[in-house]
């Protein structure tokens, strides 16, 4: 679990990051979960965009993906979701 200070720090890091994936009407399938997990291992902190045509709200998307890949939800801002998971091999972010 992240503290509010850690979450604020991660949110500030994510500000300059582009959204690297989009969740649309395809929903959250095994393929997306695998891709998100791989991206978290490589980057630790990722930002996703939830498209208007997605069947999930941005909050539902964040919670579902975080649970599926064992990540923490840093924040949901508008239609953007920020996820964090400490990397095993590529640790970059010191909390």
The tens digit of pLDDT for each residue in 25-67 reads: 888 989 999 999 999 999 999 999 999 999 999 999 999 999 9
> Does some domain include residue 78?
yes
Task: Quickly state the pLDDT bin for 83 (edges 50, 70, 90).
Answer: very high
> Does some domain include residue 37?
yes
CATH of the domain at 59: 3.30.110.60
Among residues of the chain, what percentage have pLDDT more than 70? 97
> Does some domain include residue 8?
yes
Q: What is the pTM of this model?
A: 0.90
What 3 state SS string does the chain have? Answer: CCCHHHHHHHHHHHCCCCCCEEECCCCCCHHHHHHHHHHHHHHCEEEEEECCCCCCCHHHHHHHHHHHHCCEEEEEECCEEEEECCCCCCCCCCC
> Does some domain include residue 95?
no
């Amino acid at each position: 679990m992240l503290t509010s200070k850690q979450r604020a720090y991660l949110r500030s890091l994510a500000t300059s990051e582009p959204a690297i994936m989009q969740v649309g009407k395809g929903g959250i399938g095994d393929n997306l979960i695998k891709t998100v997990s791989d991206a978290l291992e490589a980057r630790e902190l990722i930002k996703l965009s939830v498209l208007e045509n997605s069947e999930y709200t941005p909050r539902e998307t964040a919670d579902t993906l975080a649970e599926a890949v064992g990540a923490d939800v840093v924040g949901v801002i508008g239609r953007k979701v920020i996820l964090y998971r400490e990397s095993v091999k590529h640790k970059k972010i010191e909390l």
